Every structure is written in C-alpha cells, then in structure tokens.
Structure 1
Amino acid sequence: MLGLLRQITQEVTDAQSLPAALDIIVRRVRRAMRTEVCSIYLVDNLTSEYVLMATRGLHSTAAGSVSLKEDEGLVGLVGRRAEPVNLENAQAHPSYCYLEGTGEERFRSFLGVPIIHHRQILGVLVVQHEEQRRFDEGEEAFLITLSAQLAGVIAHAEATGAINSISADQEKMAADVRYKGVPGSSGVAIGRGVVVFPPADLNVIPDRTTDTPETEISDFYQALEAVRTDIRLASDRISEHVSEDEKGLFDVYLKILDDDSIAGEIVRKINDGQWAQGALRQVIQAHVKQFNAMDDSYLRERATDLRDLGCRILSHLQEKGPKIKERFSEPSIIIGEELTASMLGEIPIHNIKGLVSVKGSGNSHVAILARAMGIPTVMGVLDLPYAQLDKVELILDGYLGQVFTYPSDNLKENFQQVVNEERQLEKQYETLKDLPCETKDGHRLNLYVNTGLSADIGRSLDRGAEGIGLYRTEVPFMVRDRFPTEAEQVQIYRLQLEGFAPAPVTVRTLDIGGDKALPYFPIEEANPFLGWRGIRVTLDHLEIFMAQIRAMIKASADLHNLKIMLPMISNAAEVEEALALIRRAFAEVKEEGYNVKMPRVGVMIEVPAAVYQAKELASLVDFLSVGSNDLTQYLLAVDRNNPRVASLYSSHHPAVLRALYSIVDQVRDEGVGLSVCGEMAGDPMSAILLMAMGYDVLSMSATSLPKVKAVIRNITMAQAQDMLSEVMELPHAEAVTQTMTRLMREANVERLIRPSKTTIE
C-alpha cells in the first residue's frame, strides 16, 4: 500500500493542471480499490458548493457541470461531519440526493472521505459500487490515508500555480476573493503584487506571458550553451579518475539537451507565449513525472539528473534576467512562498508597500523586520495562489491578516479610507516625540528600542526612544564572512553607545543557534531550538565570549552607559560562570588604561526554567529582561516559524500571562530592574497588561513606540490594573484578546492604534 500511495502522490505532485491531477487520482484509486466509481468533489470557495471535478464510472460529461450545496447530499454530509460516511445502501439514507445526468442511480454502496487541509475542507473523495455492500475497514483506511496525503499536495499545487484553482477564470477572480493568514505587521496596503522567489529553484517559478519570445529564446539558448560548457569542463576535470563508461554519463547529459529533445520542447512553449523560465519548469517537471512513473529503479533515478540539469539552466537564465530590484518601477506588494531578510535586502525599501508570505508566522524574522520598518505584512497565507499574482492588484490587511485579490472599486474605496485614517494617526504620533510615557494618574513607564543596525539609531531617536533595551550583536556577525575582530566590535558597539549617551544601552551577548545561523559557523542539529544556542555556545567558546565582552567594555569608555545581557539562561551556574568572565574582562580592560566602570549585568528570561528561578537569578544580577518571543514558544511548545501551528502561538495565552506575572511577584523585593524586550512589548494591548503587572521598561521596534506611548498616556494605572484583573482568569487567548479589545474601546484608546474604519472580518 505504501508504495502505491507514494506513486499516486508523486504523480499528482507532478501534474501540470488541476484536471490532470484529479484524473490521476480517480483513475488510480478506482483501479487500486477495484470499485466501479471514483469521483472527486472540490469546494468552490466563492459559492461553498461541492463541484464534481473528476470521475471515473459516472458520466464524464458531468465533471465540472454538476454541484451540490454544502448542506446537500451525502457529499455535503461528509463535509459537515468532516469524517467518512460508509453506506451499503446509499439511496436509503435520508441525506441522499440524486445528481441528475451523472448515471449514479444504479450504484448502491457509497464511501466518502473528506479532503482536509489545515482544518479546511477542500473536498470529498468518493468511491461507489453497484453491489449493495459496506466497504471494509481496510478499504476505508486506504482512502483516508490517501486523502490525507493528497490534501497537502492539492493545496500546495493550487498555491504555487502548478495546478489552477477551481475559480481560475478572471470573472470569478474579480469578486474580491479573500485569503486568510496571520497578522505580521499592522496596516493596510493597496497595490500590485510582485512575486519574488529564491534562485535556481524550479518548483517556485511562476507562469508569465512574454511579448518578446525571440529575446526569451535567445536567453534560453545562451543558458543552454553555458550548461553544455559546464558539463564538458566537468567531464574533462574527472576524465583521469573514471572509466570511459562512467565518463559516458556526461555524453548522456549533453544528448538530453539536444534541440530534438528537451530544448526543442522548451522553445515551442516559449513560442506559444510562455517566458523562458516558466517553459523550462513546465517541460522539466513533465519529464521528471514520466521518469518517476517508471518501474525500473535505474530509470527512476534519471529524474534526479534531469532535475539537476533544469536547475543549472535556470541558474544561468536568472543571471541573464533582471535582478529583483530592477523589477520595481513603482511601490508594490511583495509576495513569496517564503520571504527572507536577504530577499528584502535586494529591494529598495521605498518600493515596498506591503509583504505577503505563504509560509511563516507573525513572529518570523521577516515579520519582526517588517514591524521595525512599519511595512504592513500578512504571513502564513497557505492557500494563496501566489504564483498567479504577479502584477495582479491586491489589498493587504495587516490588522486581520488577510489578502484580497482582484478587489472591486467598492472594496478599494473602503480600504482607502483606512489608509487615510492611518496617515492621520501618524501625524498625531509626531506630536508625542518629546513627551514622557506617563499615565494620566502619573505612573511613569520607560520605552526603549530594540536595535541591530547603526541605521536604527536615528530612527529610534526620532520616535522618542529613551534608551536601547536590546542591541542584537548577532546582526553584525551575520553580515560578515568571518568573526569580527575585537577592534571591529569596539567600533560597532561604540556607535550605539555614543548615539544614545547618556541613556542606557543594553547589549546582548552573541545569540546564535536555533533559527539564527552564521554562514561561517554552521550548527547542524536535529532540534536546534532545544540545542546549542545563546549562552551555551559562547561559554563553550571562551575566545568568542571574552573578545566580545572586552569589546563592549572598551566601547563604553568615558560614556558609562553600557548594560550587558546574557541570553538563553536556564540555570544559575551559567550566570555565575559568565559573571566571573565579565569581571575578568573588566579588570583586563582597566589595566589597559581605559576609563570604564563595571557595567550592570542582566539575564534574559526566555525559557520556562528561568521563570521558576527568577528569584535566584535576580539575586545574582542587576536586571531581568523577559524575551517574550522565545518564552511564549517554549511555554506553548509552538515553533513560531511553523505556519501549521502559527494560530496556536499567542502571547495572550493564560499560561504566558501567568508566567509573566509570576516573574514580577518573585522579584518584587529584590531591587532589580524588570523589562520585556520581545514583540509583546510593542503591542499596545499587551503593553497595558505588562505595565499593570509591574514591568517598568518595555523595549520594542522604533515603529511600535509611538503607538504604545499614545495608549499609555491616555489611560490611568488604575484602569490598566482593572483590565489585568479582568483577563487574568480567562480560559484561553482568544477570550483575552476579545476582552481587551472591548475594554480598550470603552477606555477610548483603541482609536489611537487602529483606524476607526473597520476592516472586513
């Protein structure tokens, strides 16, 4: 069974169109289960109807023209229950609905299983038999297993454009189609999409039409010749080390690239109007599919060779083609399967209106970067057909995490009002720059910023930042091809310390591992988030740790505003060891004649173990800073970068709120500073709760700072504490968010962070 499942799944993955993929399923399932009918009904998201999309056994003319309402028939019953329906006499069931024109009246037995992807019903897979019998447990298990495998394949194929969606025609697509993701950065963007993708990856190449096929063909032939040259050079380099038979493999590669073979097919597709990269993808995938379907294992392995050749040609094509930044003639909404910081780095910031990523969550690094730059962003839009959206008009709603394609004039007008109100709010924020973050009844809260680049200094001071609560030292480490020297680090840290002097600057020691890797210091682990990261790495490499601490202390000479923070602390012994090393580094720098003072030292609370040792840790250091991003993901066992579980990640989860309050309660009499430096600090709703708990410093992106200040200055501490009391006993995160939304509206502060014009729920 497993081999059959793999074959069917692979064939569907390689299909070039939705009808072809579905026909593969019904044909192979009907044969495998020896049934007389196999059919697939898919949900049309625009009408919520189940459309008969493919069948073997019913009248073929019915495919695409017959449908059932969501509450109609046995197919609708399977969808509503989201579980199999197995009947030996389907026509006797009260939910049975005869579909005229299908010829199903003679089939008695019925087995339907739902096709589910991320809790969403994509459709129903049905088998039927004329004989009146109940399908056995083995047959039902096979169909369930197959539908589970195919759900992800179908959803991904629709999203990447490898197979078209049910409503692919332009008339239906114009009807304000909405796709749901998760909010990454608040705000609204209206504009045309530009699809970006990583280099030399055939699977993510979108289809595009071309008006200049001659140029595309010329570029293709140049890339083809470059690959032929590469192959000949590779053959020459190893000719002395292999036999003639083995060397003959390179001749096979060259023959594959002949005009009479694959190259000719690609040129024909270009002449039909497809751009060179899209034509290459289509032809290579079609041939890979043929090889994968072969029974001979040797021939199946040739699929790998063919895919490699395709990637080599693509690489040369992309060198010839326009670079990412050359594709932007106007501000656009950037779309990708998985946006990365390096992709954004190639695009002029002023040309980015918004960001949409199919993968990732609201706490992915790209989302954090977007919030820092004030760019509206939606993450984890798993079902978005992103490859079909190049140059398509879009609306991005970063408040509710949704994307609209082909928006109507009415919808654009509604969202334009939101954009106009956002501009008015920005003008209000400008008046707050030099005002303290103080509640109406006189409680003072300090607002710091998180930084990582020298460019952050000016932006942060312009927004009224009172200090740096987190300087990420891994950023300057990441942009180099080696570890920076001690002297280089002194210059880097000095810029931050001078820029904010005399205000405090908290510099975190190197925090690599997990999802932060250095290209010259790779860490390969099966479970990196629970592995060698943060303080664990630097204490194992004293040469790295001591050079960094010495550089920090030297950079603080004559300024005396340095604070050092230790990441990923899970026990007191790590703190004691690090403190001894810091004191040693301080003594060495003093001996060299620098005018320095012993910096205040603190630890990050970001793993559950540290929460339960907060009192002991506070007795060792000068301050504690909660890293809410990691603490939330560790408490909830949710990888914040995984879109499959992104909806489970919430800093408003009762367990997170109680852990945060527990930290305050434990260290209340220890005389240490207490701050939060995760993304939670920059969320005005969360900031109210954190202030009410007793945190005295919140550190956030510069973009978030004015919003938090605006809210805090318009409530009293008493109001904040009342809000905290009301939500602390609530049972789940959604209840906390809904209650806080209501309370903020009643306090008349919701208007300060979100336009009053409601976006579409």
Structure 2
Amino acid sequence: MLNTLRSIVQEVNSAKDLVEALDIIVTRVQEAMDTEVCSVYLVDPESNRYILMATQGLNKEAVGNVSLAHSEGLVGLVGVREEPINLENAPAHPRYRYFAETGEERYQSFLGVPIIHHRKVLGVIVVQQQKNSRIFDEGEEAFLVTVSAQLAGVIAHSEATGVIGGLSLTGEQAKDVCFTGVPGAPGVAIGDSVVIFPPADLDSVPEKVATDIELEIEKFNEALAAVRRDIEAVGARLESQLRPEEQALFDVYLRMLDDNALGGEVISRIREGSWAQGALKEVTNEYVRHFELMRDSYLSERAVDIKDLGRRVLAYLQQENDQQKDYPDATILVSEELTPAMLGEVPKEKLKGLVSVKGSGNSHVAILARAMGVPTVMGVVDVPVGQLDSRQLIVDGYNGQIYASPSIELLGYYQGIVEDEQEQIKGLEALKNEPSLTKDGHQVSLWVNTGLMTDVVMSLSHGAQGVGLYRTEVPFMINERFPSEHEQKACYREQLEAFAPGYVTMRTLDIGGDKALTYFPIHEENPFLGWRGIRVTLDHPEIFLVQVRAMLKASEGLDNLRIMLPMISNISEVEEALHLIYRVYHEVREEGFDIKMPKVGVMIEVPAAVYQARELAERVDFVSVGTNDLTQYLLAVDRNNPRVAGLYHSFHPAVLKALSHIVQESHDAGKQVSICGELAGDPAGAVLLIAMGFDALSMNASNLPKVKSVIRNISLAWARDLWEEVSRLDSPQVIKSTLDLALKDAGLGKFMRPERTADGSVVTI
C-alpha cells in the first residue's frame, strides 16, 4: 500500500490541472482498494455546495451536474463531522440522499473521508461497493485517510490554479479570487504582478502568453542549438574514455532535442500561444511523468536525463531575459520566497507591494518591508505562483490577503483605502516637531529601528528622537566578506552623525536564525535554538572586537553611541562581553581617540532572561526588549512558519505579563527600559507599553507618526486603566479586540486596520 500511495502522489503531483488530478485519484484509488466506485466531491466556495467532480464507477454524465447542500446527504455529514463514515448499508442511513443520475442505488457499502487542508474542508472522497456488502476494514479506511491527507495540499493547489485563471469549480467566471496568508507589512497596494523565480528551475517557471510567437521560437531554437553544442563538446572530450555503447548516450540526448521529439513539441506549444519557457516546462514535465511511470527500471531512470536536458535549455533561455527588466509603474513583486536582494532589484518608486509563499509576518524580509513602507502579504502557501505573473493584483497587508481578477467594485473599495492612507500621512506630517506627550503630560521617547541609510531619511522626516535599534548585520549581509574595521566605521559614523545628538543604539552582530551570511554559513537542525547572536560573536572574539572598535572610533566627538548585546541568556555572557568592550575602549583611547565610554545594554529576547531581568539590569546601563523573538520563544512558535503563524500573537497574555515583569524588574534596578520589537509600532500595542511603564518605544519609521498621534490623544491614566482591564483577560484575540474598540471609542479608530466581513461589506475595527 505504501508503494501504491507513493505512486498515486507522484502521478497527481504531475497532473496539469485539477480535472486530471482528480481523475488520477479516483482511478488509482479504485484500483488499489479493489472497490467498485471511487468519487471525489469538492466544496464550491461560491455556492457552498458539494459538487461531484470526478468518479470511477458512477455515471460519468453526473460529474459537474450533481451537487449537495453543505450538510446534505452522507457526503455532507462527512464534511460536517470532519471524520470518516464507514457504513455496511448506506441506503438505510437516515442521512442517505439518492441521486438517480449517478446510478449509485446498486451500492450498499459506503466509506467517506473528508479532504481537509489547513483546517478547511475542501471536499470528500468516497468509495462504494455492491458485491460482498460489508464494512470496509481498518486497513482500507486507514489507506483512504492517508490518501486524503497526502493529497489535500495538491488538490488545494490545483483548485487554486484553476480559479486564478478565472474559472470556478462550476466553470463560471471567477471574480475577486482571494488567497489568504498572514500580514507582512500594513497597507494596500494595487498593481501588476511580476513573478521572480529561481534560475534553471522548471517547476518555478510561471505561465505567460507569448507576445511575439516568432521571437519566442527564435529564442528557443538558439537555446536548443547551444545545448546541442554543449553535448557534442562533452561527447568529443570524453570519446577516448568511453565505450561505444556509453558514447551512444550522447546521440540519444541529441535525438531527444530533435524536431520529432521534445524540441518539436515545445515549438508546437509556443505556436499555440505559450512563451518559450512555459512551453518547455510543460513538455519536459510530460516527458518526465511518462518515463517515471514506466515499469522498466532502465527506461524510468531516463526521466532524470529528460529533466536535465530541460534545465539546460531553460538556462540558455533565461540568459536571454537576464537583461534589465522593464518593471510596471505599480509593481507587485511575487516569489516563492522573497529575499532582501529581490527587493533591491525593483526601482524604489515602482515597488508597490510584495507577496511571498514562504515566510511569515515576522520574517526578516517582512520586517524590512515594514521599514520601507511596502504593503506585504507572507505565507500564502496555497497560491499557484506560476499563474500569477502579469496579472492585476490587490495586496491587503492589513488582513494578509491578495485578490486576483478583482471586480470594479472591489477595486473601488481598495482604491478608497489607498486614498485614505495618503490623506492620513499628509495629516500626520504636521506632528514631526511636536513632542510625544500624553494629555496628562507623560513624556515617551519615540525612536526608530534602522539598518539601511534609506531608513535615515524617512526617520528624520518623521521626527525620530533617536535610534532604539540599529541592525549592524545589514552591512555584513550586503558584503561578500566580513567588512573591515574601516568600512564598518564609515557605516556607523553615517548613522551616528545623522541622529546626533540623539542616541543611536547599535546592536552587535546578530546572525544565525533567519539571518545568514553567504560567506559564513551556519547549518543547523534548529537554527533559532542554535548558534546565533552573542553566542557567535563570543565564540569569535576577532569579529566582536573589530566591530566594537569600529563603533567606538565612529563615535568620536559625537558621544551618542549605545551598544546593545543580543540573544543574552546567561549572566556570564554579559560579563564576558563587557570585559571585551572595556578592553577595546582602553585600547582605542591609547590610540589617541578622544571618546567616552558608551552606555551598554542587553536585549531580553529569551525566557531565561525574563526571569533574570533584575540581575541583568544591575550589570548594564539599560535594558531593551526584542518582542519578536521573545514572543516566538515564549509561545514555541517559529515566526517564519506560515503553518503556525496564527499562533504567533504579540497580545498573548503570557507575553504581556512577561513584558510587565521586565519593566518592573528593570526599574527596581534603577535602569531605563525600552522596547524595539514590532509591538511598539502597533498603536494598540504602544498604548499598553506606555501603561506598563516602558521609557522608550522603538519602531519602523513608517509607524512613528501614527504612534505619536495616538500618544498625544490619550492620557497615561486612561492607558493604565485599559491595561488593568486587559491584564485580566485570557485570550489574545479578545485582548486585541478590546484594545481596538477602546481606541475606536476614543476617536482613534482611523489607526485601526480595515477589514471586510463575510458578506463583503466593509468594517473598521
């Protein structure tokens, strides 16, 4: 059964569309279980009805024509109960529903299993039997459950592929096709999608319509000729070392590229309207699938050769497109996995939105997107990326949704939000030079998180009082080697001068986890619990000492440097780091630099540090909390994993209690405490942090005007009453709703995210 399951999964993965995938499933499952009927019913999101989409055993004419209400019949019962139903005499069951057009009255035995993907019931797979009417045995039921679980993701992807093309399950025109991920960066973007895909990867090639068929054929023929030359050259080079039968393999490769084989079929697909890369992908995958299914081991292994040839031709095709891309004026960048480098490829004025299949709202690239003010949706795991290129998209960074094939009504709604955002930004510009003071006179320092020089301009224009977190790993990440002391000094000096006399808090090198250096790779089973942050730099004092020396020298004459140590989990780490910093300080002084000893602080990001907050605070000058990692570790949720993104919640009661404890312990030690995680840039979060007693909030520059406006429109007493109320609540969702409602009642609802209800109407919470 295991081999059969693998074979079914392999075939279904190679299917070109949903119809083919479902036909493979019902045919192969019926054979494997030696039963008379196998059928698949899928839920149509438009009508909320189950539609018979494929069958082996029932009347084929019923496919697409038979449908059941959401809880109707045995199929509906399986979906409602979300568990298998196994019956010996199905017609005798009170929920049995008979459809004459299917011809199923002959079948007594019934086994239905729900197809569930990410907690959502996609449909039901059913097997039925007439002869030897019986209960299906445990092994058969387990097999069908396994098939359903294995193929749920494939079905979801295939279904989405059809819908994104504009057709619903019923074949009707689909509008406002929505895919849900997680919010990456707030805001709304409307634009044209550009899919970025890795080189020489056939599976990632997007589908496109050829704009110039003859040009596409010319490109393909040139790529084909280049691959032929390569194969002939390799064959000639190895001729003396190979036997005749081995040498003949090169002739086989060349014949595969002929007009009568792969080459000719690709050109036929291009003439049908596909661009060269897409046609090559389709034909290569069909050849690969055909060879893999062959029983002869020698022939099935030729699938590898076909795949290799396809990649070689693709590599040459992509060289043609390596010239400067012509990005649309409103570009929505889409990728399987966005990287910071990809963001830099698009001219800044053209980049309007980002969509990533992998990652979550707290991935490094999402944090960078928030710093840039680019609406972003992450973790859209079911979106068929290959279908998205050159389509009009709406990116809703507030609710973590993207819309394809948007209707005029939906475009109008989101265009209204874009215009409201622009007006709001203009209204907040007047606050640049105003103090961040509550109505009852409580002062809160508002700082920014920076990493790039482009952050500086926005930060200063929004009235930042200093830098609560300068990510020093950015200069390391954009290099191909460790930057020298001189290069680091120049970089740090720019930041220190830009914000003087305001403080610039420089975090020492924080690599590991989701921040990798290409020239210093760290390979670990669990990188977030591994070698990262202060652990790396203390193990490599040569890196730490050079960096601190560059920081100290850059601060000469400005005296606005603060040094912050990341990922502290032990008192000994602080003491060792302080010893090295003091050593460098005296060495730099001896070199003739007139500098003052900067303030040194620790980041509290791991649970161990929460419970040693006072001991840590007593050894340093200040304490700063990194809520992104602290939330991750307290809740045991990988913040880069979209599958568990819904469990990552900054308003979780445990997180809020930990933050309150840190403030109390730090203040008892007489030390300033700030916060530099994403929670500080959330208006509702900022209210709670002020109430807890945080002395400074550090955030992305784009959030600073909103947070300042909220602070200036509330009183500290009101914030403390609100904190006292929510501190008694036990649900993060209820806490967030309570905060949003309180801000709305205080006349600050404009800073809350817009949301759409199930019936499509718009609400603001």
TM-score normalised to structure 2 length: 0.95
Give yes or no for contact 1:17–1:163 (8 Å, CA) kept in 2: no
Describe the superposition over 1:671-694 as per-residue Cα deviations: whole angstroms up to 9, x where unpaired: 212111111111111111111111
Shift, 1:222, TM fit: 1.3
Could you tell me how far apart the structure 1 residues matched to 2:561 and 2:241 are?
59
| Residue number in structure 2 paired with 1:598 | 597
| Residue number in structure 2 paired with 1:173 | 174
| Residue number in structure 2 paired with 1:138 | 139
Instruction: Please state whether the residue corresponding to 2:725 is helix, strand or coil.
Output: helix
**Is 2:16 the partner of 1:9?**
no
Could you tell me how far apart the structure 1 residues matched to 2:245 and 2:678 are?
60
Give yes or no for contact 1:429–1:706 (8 Å, CA) kept in 2: yes
Give yes or no for contact 2:200–2:314 (8 Å, CA) kept in 1: yes
Instruction: Please state whether the residue corresponding to 1:704 is helix, strand or coil.
Output: helix
- The verdict on how the C-alpha distance between 1:242 and 1:524 changes in structure 2, with shifts beyond 3 A counting, is farther
Counterpart mapping for 1:50-449 below 5 A? 50-131=50-131, 132-159=133-160, 167=168, 171-174=172-175, 176-235=176-235, 249-321=249-321, 326-449=325-448
| Residue number in structure 2 paired with 1:735 | 734
Task: Name which of structure 1's ranges 8-17 and 373-382 shifts more when overlaid on structure 2.
Answer: 373-382
Task: Name which of structure 1's ranges 210-219 and 392-401 shifts more when overlaid on structure 2.
Answer: 392-401
Instruction: Please state whether the residue corresponding to 2:546 is helix, strand or coil.
Output: helix
Could you tell me how far apart the structure 1 residues matched to 2:30 and 2:253 are?
38
Could you tell me how far apart the structure 2 residues matched to 1:326 and 1:480 are?
24
Describe the superposition over 1:553-592 as per-residue Cα deviations: whole angstroms up to 9, x where unpaired: 1111111111111111110111111110011111110110
Shift, 1:158, TM fit: 4.0
| Residue number in structure 2 paired with 1:633 | 632
| Residue number in structure 2 paired with 1:477 | 476
| Residue number in structure 2 paired with 1:643 | 642
Shift, 1:164, TM fit: 6.9
Shift, 1:427, TM fit: 1.1
Could you tell me how far apart the structure 1 residues matched to 2:755 and 2:391 are?
28
Instruction: Please state whether the residue corresponding to 2:149 is helix, strand or coil.
Output: helix
Shift, 1:90, TM fit: 0.9
Shift, 1:255, TM fit: 3.1
Shift, 1:710, TM fit: 0.9
Instruction: Please state whether the residue corresponding to 2:325 is helix, strand or coil.
Output: helix
Shift, 1:307, TM fit: 1.9
**Is 2:518 the partner of 1:526?**
no
Could you tell me how far apart the structure 1 residues matched to 2:166 and 2:115 are?
15
Instruction: Please state whether the residue corresponding to 1:83 is helix, strand or coil.
Output: coil
Instruction: Give the aligned residue type for 2:134.
Output: R
Describe the superposition over 1:93-114 as per-residue Cα deviations: whole angstroms up to 9, x where unpaired: 1111112311011111110101
Instruction: Please state whether the residue corresponding to 1:493 is helix, strand or coil.
Output: helix
Give yes or no for contact 2:181–2:642 (8 Å, CA) kept in 1: no
- The verdict on how the C-alpha distance between 1:14 and 1:243 changes in structure 2, with shifts beyond 3 A counting, is same
Instruction: Please state whether the residue corresponding to 2:453 is helix, strand or coil.
Output: coil
Could you tell me how far apart the structure 2 residues matched to 1:732 and 1:301 are?
55
Could you tell me how far apart the structure 2 residues matched to 1:207 and 1:285 are?
14
- The verdict on how the C-alpha distance between 1:239 and 1:700 changes in structure 2, with shifts beyond 3 A counting, is farther
Describe the superposition over 1:501-521 as per-residue Cα deviations: whole angstroms up to 9, x where unpaired: 111111111111111111111
Give yes or no for contact 2:398–2:754 (8 Å, CA) kept in 1: no
Give yes or no for contact 1:158–1:383 (8 Å, CA) kept in 2: no
| Residue number in structure 2 paired with 1:661 | 660
Could you tell me how far apart the structure 1 residues matched to 2:14 and 2:346 are?
32
Could you tell me how far apart the structure 2 residues matched to 1:492 and 1:246 are?
58
Instruction: Give the aligned residue type for 2:147.
Output: L
Shift, 1:251, TM fit: 4.2
Describe the superposition over 1:492-541 as per-residue Cα deviations: whole angstroms up to 9, x where unpaired: 11111111111111111111111111111111111111111111111111
Could you tell me how far apart the structure 2 residues matched to 1:238 and 1:603 are?
61
- The verdict on how the C-alpha distance between 1:748 and 1:67 changes in structure 2, with shifts beyond 3 A counting, is same
Task: Name which of structure 1's ranges 391-400 and 439-448 shifts more when overlaid on structure 2.
Answer: 391-400
Instruction: Please state whether the residue corresponding to 1:344 is helix, strand or coil.
Output: helix
- The verdict on how the C-alpha distance between 1:170 and 1:130 changes in structure 2, with shifts beyond 3 A counting, is closer
Task: Name which of structure 1's ranges 232-241 and 194-203 shifts more when overlaid on structure 2.
Answer: 232-241
Instruction: Please state whether the residue corresponding to 1:644 is helix, strand or coil.
Output: helix
Instruction: Please state whether the residue corresponding to 2:115 is helix, strand or coil.
Output: strand
Describe the superposition over 1:695-721 as per-residue Cα deviations: whole angstroms up to 9, x where unpaired: 111111111111111111110111111
Instruction: Please state whether the residue corresponding to 2:54 is helix, strand or coil.
Output: strand
Could you tell me how far apart the structure 2 residues matched to 1:162 and 1:13 are?
18
% identical aligned pairs: 59
Could you tell me how far apart the structure 2 residues matched to 1:733 and 1:180 are?
20
Could you tell me how far apart the structure 2 residues matched to 1:355 and 1:180 are?
14
Could you tell me how far apart the structure 2 residues matched to 1:589 and 1:107 are?
88
Aligned length: 759
Instruction: Please state whether the residue corresponding to 2:459 is helix, strand or coil.
Output: helix
Instruction: Give the aligned residue type for 1:221.
Output: N
- The verdict on how the C-alpha distance between 1:668 and 1:315 changes in structure 2, with shifts beyond 3 A counting, is same
- The verdict on how the C-alpha distance between 1:25 and 1:516 changes in structure 2, with shifts beyond 3 A counting, is same
Shift, 1:647, TM fit: 0.8
Instruction: Give the aligned residue type for 1:259.
Output: D
**Is 2:47 the partner of 1:28?**
no
Give yes or no for contact 1:11–1:24 (8 Å, CA) kept in 2: yes
- The verdict on how the C-alpha distance between 1:670 and 1:230 changes in structure 2, with shifts beyond 3 A counting, is farther
- The verdict on how the C-alpha distance between 1:634 and 1:245 changes in structure 2, with shifts beyond 3 A counting, is farther
Instruction: Give the aligned residue type for 1:569.
Output: I
- The verdict on how the C-alpha distance between 1:52 and 1:627 changes in structure 2, with shifts beyond 3 A counting, is same
Instruction: Please state whether the residue corresponding to 1:172 is helix, strand or coil.
Output: coil
Could you tell me how far apart the structure 2 residues matched to 1:87 and 1:277 are?
50
Instruction: Please state whether the residue corresponding to 2:144 is helix, strand or coil.
Output: helix
| Structure 1: unaligned runs, 5 residues or longer | none
The two structures, once aligned, show a CA RMSD in angstroms of: 2.1
Could you tell me how far apart the structure 1 residues matched to 2:163 and 2:265 are?
18
Could you tell me how far apart the structure 2 residues matched to 1:519 and 1:161 are?
38
Could you tell me how far apart the structure 2 residues matched to 1:305 and 1:84 are?
42
